[in-house]
Structure 1
Amino acid sequence: MLVDVSPHPRAVIGASALVSTVALTLMATPAHAATVEPSRQGVPRPVQTPPPATHTVASGESVAAIAARYGLATADVLSWNGLSWENSLIRPGQVLSLVAPIAAAPAPAPAPAPATAGTSYTVVAGDTISGIAGRHGSTAAAVLAANGLTWDSIIYPGQTVTVPAASAPAAAPAPAAVAPAGLELDAEQAQNARTIIRVGREMGVPERGIAIALGTAMQESWLRNLDWGDRDSQGLFQQRPSTGWGTIEEVRDAERATRAFFGGPADPNGNRTRGLLDIPGWESMAYADAAQAVQISAYPDRYARWEQPSLAWLAALG
């Protein structure tokens, strides 16, 4: 079993967005400087220039420290980057937005559709939004919107949720369900994504399985081959040597770690761990549920946000 490197045991950064192309480089922007303009009394006074549009995180930095450096409110920087007070973990090399996102012009309101009754469902232990949606022929996005939830919301046993009928048009997620900034892949992330795609194809894994691996690695490590993590978790998939996934060197071997994630007859761990291909019926599972079956995360719904981006990365890099 695995443990996340985020504040909860397995989550790292939140909400989904589709990217159509993959940028292979992200440029760091230098910190802004102060200029001086004469005052009416002839005494120079400092004039603060606007902050840059982005900031590349350095080792040891926090969101609060970065916000203070540029004279911004911590809450604003968190919001602009899809973070929260409870989920504010950032990593060296991550690019943070320092400006509020530009709101798109509202699209013309569609003609009202005939009302379609939804299904009321009572959550039981082990349920996920994507799993509930899949069993009722709906989508996770539609269930989120129907209940005023976001990709970061947590559901509890006994809670009642509305599941839109399958024939109802899927509603867009609530505005707060915006994917975090920095979905474009830099050179390191793109290289790791290509490794996952290549290994998956060599093992005969279906395209959807490869997309699940890409999204899982993005959630677990931001698609970086980390040499640190929660307890002894390391590598692309934050696999733990103490739970049978291999030695430290093995879990940090990107190709081997990918083969272990896929599992099946070619699993380098043999029967010590269970990969995606070892999960009965994984092909028919919801995206997040399939990833969760391998990773055993405390926040399983957070894999769902990477479904559409992972398909875009697969199309662009595969």
Structure 2
Amino acid sequence: MRSSAASRIQTVLAGLVTIAVVGVIAVVVLFSPRESAPECRTWTAEQRENAATIIRAGQDLGLSERDQTIAVMTAMGESSLRNLDYGDWETSGVRNPDGSPTTSIGLFQQQDEWGTREARMDPYTAATMFYRAMLAEVPEPERLSMEPTLVAHRTQINAQPDHYAPFWPAAEALVADPSGSGGC
């Protein structure tokens, strides 16, 4: 009789544990933030136009689709493909390593040393400047063997080498389909 009661208690406890585990899983699934895959993001007309301009600048320079995708990925990571007339200094008080305020603007958040304000705010010119810097900083044989985020990092000199990595799938999808539909 004793073992029968103990057996029932164990069964009830096992059932309660199972219910608790299922409940925790349900809460996690129901209340976890849901984002669509980055490659399925809906892009605004402005963002698609900026991506198309970056792609066109790369094509005009005779660069590969991979290089164009690196540039689009970089602009996604820097400005979400928006031609911003402000940068990290204005939004977050970010300073350069020497302590001076950053002067980042445009699609690629390029600072003063990249060119004039007008050049950095012109999407085609800004993309061309990015490509030329990429070609100078990461020659083709090396560029082909590097992770795209590291190519962008070496070109942009971002504080975080892996900053651009999450944007690679979205950039691939957008370069493959500049309409931004991406089959989503």
RMSD: 2.2
Greater strand content: 1
Q: Which structure 2 residues correspond to residues 163-174 of structure 1 after superposition, within 5 A?
A: none
Contact preservation (8 Å) 1:179, 1:305: no
Q: Are positions 1:235 and 2:93 aligned together?
A: no
Deviation at 1:258, TM superposition (A): 0.3
Q: By how many angstroms is 1:311 displaced?
A: 0.9
Q: Which residue of 1 aligns with 2:58?
A: 200
> What corresponds to 1:311 in structure 2?
172
Q: CA deviation at 1:219?
A: 0.4
State the Cα distance separating 1:182 from its structure 2 match: 8.4
2:103 counterpart of 1:245: no
* Counterpart secondary structure, 1:317: coil
Q: Is the CA contact (8 Å cut-off) linking 2:39 and 2:173 kept in structure 1?
A: no
2:69 matched to which residue of 1? 211
Q: Deviation above 2 Å: which 4+ runs of structure 1?
A: 178-183
> Which residue of the partner structure matches residue 258 of structure 1?
127
After superposition, residues 124-139 of structure 1 pair within 5 angstroms as none
Which position in structure 2 is the counterpart of 1:292?
A: 153
The answer on whether the counterparts of 1:234 and 1:251 sit within 8 Å (CA) in structure 2 is: yes
1:282 aligned onto 2:140:
no
Does the 8 Å contact 1:233/1:240 carry over to 2? yes
Inter-partner Cα distance in structure 2 for 1:262 and 1:284: 17
Q: Describe how 1:141-220 pairs up with structure 2 within 5 A.
A: 183-220=41-78
Whether the aligned pair in 1 keeps the contact of 2:106 and 2:123 (CA below 8 Å) is yes
Q: Deviation per CA, 1:4-53: give whole Å up to 9, x if none.
A: xxxxxxxxxxxxxxxxxxxxxxxxxxxxxxxxxxxxxxxxxxxxxxxxxx
Question: TM-score, normalization: structure 1?
Answer: 0.39
1:183, distance to aligned residue in structure 2 (A): 2.6
Q: Which has the larger radius of gyration?
A: 2
- How many residue pairs get matched? 133
* 8 Å Cα contact 2:53-2:124 kept in structure 1: yes
Superposed counterparts of 1:18-167, under 5 Å: 80=33, 101=34
How far apart are 1:313 and its partner, in Å?
A: 0.3
* Residues 132-179 of structure 1, C-alpha deviations (whole Å, 9 max, x = no match): xxxxxxxxxxxxxxxxxxxxxxxxxxxxxxxxxxxxxxxxxxxxxx86
Identity of counterpart residues, as a percentage?
43
Structure-2-length-normalised TM-score: 0.67
3-state DSSP class of the match of 1:310?
helix
